Amino acid sequence: MAVGVSPRTASWLQATPFALIMTALVIVPLGIIVVVSFMDYGFAEIIPEFFIGNWTDIFKSTLTLDLYETVLRHIVIVWAITLVLGFTVAYYLLFHVRSNFWRAIFLTACVVPFWTSGVVRSVSWVPLLGREGLVNQALMGMGFIQQPISWLLYSEFSVLLVYVNMLTLAMLGPIANSMAKISPSVIQAARDQGATEWQTIVEVIIPLIKPGIVVGTIFVVTAVMGDGFIVKSMSGNQVNTPAGAIMNEINALQYPPAAAKSVLMLVIVLLFVGTLLRFVDIRKELAR
Amino acid sequence: MSETESKGISRRSLLKGAAATAGAAVGSGFVGGFPTIWAQNIKDVTITHVGSIYTTNPTVAAQAAKDLGFKVEMQTLDQTTQINRMLTQPTSIDVTDFGNTAMGYFKGKDLIMAIPVKEYKWWDKTVPLFTQGTYADGKPYSMQGYAPIKSQFWTDANATDYSLTPTDYIVGIPVMYNADTLGVRPDLVGRPITSWKELLSPDFTGKTALQDGVNVGVPDAAMALEANGDLTYVDKGNMTREEIDKTIDKLIEYKKAGQFRSFWTNFDQSVQLMASGEVVLQSMFAPAVTEVRTRGIPCVFQALDEGARGWYIFQMAMKHLDSGDKLRRDCVMEYMNWSNSGFNGAYFSRQGFYSSVPDNVKPLMTDNEYGYWYEGKAATADIIDPFGKVMEKAGAVRDGGALWDRMGKIAIWNTLMDEDRYLVRRWQDFISA
């Protein structure tokens, strides 16, 4: 085998296919998006002349602030709720459900809603949350309210509700994965030392599942940041987010401002993920 | 150009007979002037028609193949994807169709063929909305928005700019058109609706909806704002920046006060909003109103004092056909002539759209059907939609009456404004507000 290829050359050769794929499918397209963001545009056409207006609009208008204020609010709320829900469910499944059979049943139950298509799920919220929907009928029937509540649907509330519904599993999965790696003897040791369940959670389990939380956080944050579909359909096009704004411009065939907004979003997401990864070495943790 | 003329021989019979007579034609030059490419068997030809959900369907494609002897492949795309495909892979499309909201994109793009009027068979029988820029009675219609005459003619064979007066080259053949107003739930509004201003009425706060977008939703909103006395416009269908600012600012006020329940992006959403009672009046398309009604829920398309919002769909041939395979170009022209020859028109007329050549549609519909859809007559028997569902019971009369009662009072046309770039930008502010 050894035909005079130095180890150095060998590693270069090994890295080449992936490098080529990354360059052709990621770096070059991104480069094009960056270039287009500095171009002018007309009706369904990109005018190849240098134009800074797409960027000045981003940094000078209040629109950008509005969009990111909205999406950050969504991220914080959805992250907090999915973290609590995801942790609680995962903890119960791994440390309280004794039988593997029931654990499998419960995990499947978490996944079942995702067996239907996204379109069907988004449509089926209307008979549930609408003015004449089940929730309003139930609340009125029980005498809690006299008039139907209209903010259950086509509002920021319904957007957040669907995010939580969709993304709890994205948080639950990585957390459960990390929890499964905790050796029962560690928990046993904590108990033997007289730790309460709460102390075990705070001082033993949470430090050990940090990588799971980080991975779940990355899933949730990037999903909310990149979503334009749910926010549009569940708010009745009345809530705008950075991704929704990009979709609006693409639908109007106005690519340069959409490109500029995409570059900005990419930078923000990369900064965020990069910062998170400084705190937890995912590669090392996952290899355990 | 002259070689494409088939003097004295009908194009259809020629094409149909082409396969059979091919050998003789090539050998003897019997069909004078036609190149040898005619020798190919038209059975091997497949033309690709990419269009909207309203204009492409398997029933019509199958009938076209049967009548024409070559294959018509229909593909359905949304408008944005369709335009992208035309721009990036123009030769993958032969025939395309668009409504007035897209016509502004094709000037100077070298994408769409200039069709010589004389190659289109039904021009003389086409309603004057397209040929003259007038209603049937010769009166000119509103020029607010992208009126039909604004995108019907190329200035010349180069097909770069539109002409406001008739020329020898048409941009596309007009296929269908209609007048949209507000869809209303008569059981829930509780009083007669006669004006666009009701969209903004405090009586219906939180119960109205608009189409989401600058080409239909904004014109509808402008109709309502003007009717309500909030704003006046020079041309609601082509606003100045100042008018756009005022419109968006006013709409933001209404939005913040909770006037709108939702902004819908597609047909199904508009049906759902209405059928579920979330919304009691909203801008709507005709087939959506009928869809609500076929579910047994009362819904009417209300004629309004200020007039309606008009739209149309053109079927167009791609420019690459002019410099490509001549047989293909001839087949495309043959197909386009077929499109308005009756079957297709009768098919979509039963969904509530109007054909640009009503004379060709009439023989293919029953007197009852034509009377109900086109003449404003009470149905003498049940009205059945193209899918076999009962749409209206005997005795029903179409909302708004006969063709020219409904189509004869257009206040604004679906549009693509010159200041589209600014409008889309301000629309973002509106959604964010």
Residue ranges of E strands in B115-264? 115-116, 153-154, 162-163, 169-170, 173-180, 182-184, 208-211, 260-264
**B425–A150 CB contact, under 8 Å:** no
Q: Is residue A232 part of a domain?
A: yes
| Minimal C-alpha gap between B106 and chain A (Å) | 8
| Of the candidates A93, A74, A72, A242, the residue with the CA atom closest to the CA atom of residue A178 | A93
pLDDT at A281: 76
Cα–Cα distance, B261 to A236 (Å, whole number): 7
Cα–Cα distance, A41 to A268 (Å, whole number): 25
pLDDT at A288: 57
Give yes or no for A82 touching B (CB within 8 A): no
pLDDT at B267: 86
pLDDT tens for each residue of B156-184: 999 999 999 999 999 999 999 999 999 99
DSSP B10-53: -HHHHHHHHHHHHHHHHHH--STT--GGGGS-GGG-EEEEEE-T
Cα–Cα distance, B287 to B294 (Å, whole number): 10
Would you say residue B3 has pLDDT above 70?
A: no
Would you say residue B40 has pLDDT above 60?
A: no
Residues of B with Cβ-Cβ distance to A252 under 8 angstroms: 214, 420, 424
- Please give the helix or strand (H or E) that residue A226 lies within, else none: helix A210-226
Residues of B with Cβ-Cβ distance to A150 under 8 angstroms: 206, 261
Helix axes A156-180, A100-111, angle to 10 degrees: 150
pLDDT tens for each residue of A11-27: 999 999 999 999 999 99
| Of the candidates A74, A100, A88, the residue with the CA atom closest to the CA atom of residue A201 | A88
- Please give the helix or strand (H or E) that residue B72 lies within, else none: strand B71-76
Instruction: Using pLDDT thresholds of 50, 70 and 90, give the confidence band for residue A125.
Output: confident
| Minimal C-alpha gap between A34 and chain B (Å) | 20
Would you say residue B287 has pLDDT above 70?
A: yes
Would you say residue B266 has pLDDT above 60?
A: yes
List the structure tokens of A275.
């910062």
Q: Is residue A18 part of a domain?
A: no
Residues of B with Cβ-Cβ distance to A153 under 8 angstroms: 278
Instruction: Using pLDDT thresholds of 50, 70 and 90, give the confidence band for residue B17.
Output: very low
Q: What ranges in B216-257 are assigned the alpha helix state H?
A: 217-227, 241-256
Lowest mean pLDDT among A61-70, A203-212, B34-43, B364-373: B34-43
| Of the candidates A272, A259, A267, the residue with the CA atom closest to the CA atom of residue A57 | A259
Domains and CATH numbers, chain B: 180-310+381-432 (3.40.190.10)
Q: Is residue A229 part of a domain?
A: yes
Whether B171 contacts B156, CB under 8 Å: no
**B427–A248 CB contact, under 8 Å:** yes
Whether B391 contacts B351, CB under 8 Å: no
Q: Is residue A13 part of a domain?
A: no
Residues of B with Cβ-Cβ distance to A253 under 8 angstroms: 80, 83-84, 105
Give yes or no for A245 touching B (CB within 8 A): yes
Mean pLDDT within B111-124: 96
Cα–Cα distance, B308 to B305 (Å, whole number): 9
Instruction: Using pLDDT thresholds of 50, 70 and 90, give the confidence band for residue B18.
Output: very low
Would you say residue B25 has pLDDT above 50?
A: no
Work out the percent of chain B whose per-residue pLDDT is above 70. 91
| Stated length of chain B | 433
Helices (H) and strands (E) in chain B — how many of each?
16, 18
Give the residue from A63, A253, A254, A255 with the most B CB atoms within 10 Å of its CB, the best one to mutate: A253
**A236–B262 CB contact, under 8 Å:** yes
| Minimal C-alpha gap between B105 and chain A (Å) | 5
Whether B285 contacts B101, CB under 8 Å: no
User: In this structure, what are the phi and psi dihedrals at residue A151, rounded to the nearest 5 degrees?
Assistant: -80, 5
| Of the candidates B433, B12, B197, the residue with the CA atom closest to the CA atom of residue A65 | B433
| Of the partner residues B277, B427, B431, the one whose CB lies closest to the CB of residue A132 | B277
Q: Is B203 helix (H, G, I), strand (E, B) or coil?
A: helix
Give yes or no for B233 touching A (CB within 8 A): no
Instruction: Using pLDDT thresholds of 50, 70 and 90, give the confidence band for residue A112.
Output: confident
Looking at the structure of chain A, the number of domains it has is 1
Instruction: Using pLDDT thresholds of 50, 70 and 90, give the confidence band for residue B4.
Output: very low
Question: Which residue in the block uniquely carries the two structure tokens 């959805």?
Answer: A78
**A253–B83 CB contact, under 8 Å:** yes
pLDDT at B307: 95
Q: Is B199 helix (H, G, I), strand (E, B) or coil?
A: helix
Would you say residue B388 has pLDDT above 90?
A: no
pLDDT tens for each residue of A53-109: 999 999 999 999 999 999 999 999 999 999 999 999 999 999 998 888 998 898 888
**B276–A67 CB contact, under 8 Å:** no
**A240–B264 CB contact, under 8 Å:** no
**B424–A245 CB contact, under 8 Å:** no
Work out the percent of chain B whose per-residue pLDDT is above 90. 78
Would you say residue B290 has pLDDT above 90?
A: no
Rg (CA), chain A: 24
Give yes or no for B425 touching A (CB within 8 A): yes
Please name the residue of chain A whose CA is at the shortest distance from the CA of residue B425: A249
| Of the partner residues B80, B265, B433, the one whose CB lies closest to the CB of residue A237 | B265
Mean pLDDT within B25-36: 39
pLDDT tens for each residue of A128-157: 999 889 999 999 999 999 989 989 999 999
CA distances A152 to A155, B128, B180, Å, are 7, 49, 30
Q: Is residue A54 part of a domain?
A: no
Q: Is residue A1 part of a domain?
A: no
Residues of B with Cβ-Cβ distance to A66 under 8 angstroms: 432-433
pLDDT at A109: 87
Whether A176 contacts A225, CB under 8 Å: no
Helix axes B241-256, B217-227, angle to 10 degrees: 80
Q: Is residue A221 part of a domain?
A: yes
**A43–B104 CB contact, under 8 Å:** yes
Domain that holds residue A271: 64-287
Give yes or no for B429 touching A (CB within 8 A): yes
Cα–Cα distance, A1 to A7 (Å, whole number): 12
For chain A, give the longest Cα–Cα distance: 85
Give yes or no for B417 touching A (CB within 8 A): no
pLDDT at B30: 40
Cα–Cα distance, A97 to A246 (Å, whole number): 45
Residues of B with Cβ-Cβ distance to A251 under 8 angstroms: 80, 213
| Minimal C-alpha gap between B108 and chain A (Å) | 10
**A248–B428 CB contact, under 8 Å:** yes
* CATH number for position A72: 1.10.3720.10
pLDDT at A287: 64
| Of the candidates B311, B337, B411, the residue with the CA atom closest to the CA atom of residue B117 | B337
pLDDT tens for each residue of A243-276: 999 999 999 999 999 999 999 999 999 999 999 9
pLDDT tens for each residue of B203-240: 999 999 999 989 999 999 999 999 999 999 999 999 99
DSSP A109-175: HHHGGGGS-HHHHHHHHHHHHSTTSHHHHHHHHTTS-SS--STTSSSHHHHHHHHHHHHHHHHHHHH
| Of the candidates B69, B154, B163, B60, the residue with the CA atom closest to the CA atom of residue B115 | B154
Cα–Cα distance, B370 to B388 (Å, whole number): 17
Give yes or no for A64 touching B (CB within 8 A): no
Cα–Cα distance, B55 to B57 (Å, whole number): 7
Give yes or no for A40 touching B (CB within 8 A): no
Q: Is B146 helix (H, G, I), strand (E, B) or coil?
A: coil
Q: Is residue A44 part of a domain?
A: no
Any residues with CB less than 8 A from the CB of B333 and at least 6 apart, and which?
Answer: B11, B115, B119, B120, B317
Cα–Cα distance, B214 to B191 (Å, whole number): 30
Residues of A with Cβ-Cβ distance to B415 under 8 angstroms: none
DSSP B267-301: HHHHHHHHHTTS-SEEE--HHHHHHHHHTT---EE
| Of the partner residues A70, A131, A249, the one whose CB lies closest to the CB of residue B278 | A131
Give yes or no for B266 touching A (CB within 8 A): no
User: In this structure, what are the phi and psi dihedrals at residue B62, rounded to the nearest 5 degrees?
Assistant: -65, -40
| Of the partner residues A44, A237, A257, the one whose CB lies closest to the CB of residue B212 | A237
pLDDT at A285: 64
Cα–Cα distance, B116 to B118 (Å, whole number): 5
Top-confidence residue, A3 or B196: B196
Instruction: Using pLDDT thresholds of 50, 70 and 90, give the confidence band for residue B37.
Output: very low
Residues of B with Cβ-Cβ distance to A127 under 8 angstroms: 276
Residues of A with Cβ-Cβ distance to B426 under 8 angstroms: none
| Stated length of chain A | 288
| Minimal C-alpha gap between B308 and chain A (Å) | 24
* Plot region of B285 (φ>0 → left; ψ -120 to 50 → alpha; else → beta): beta
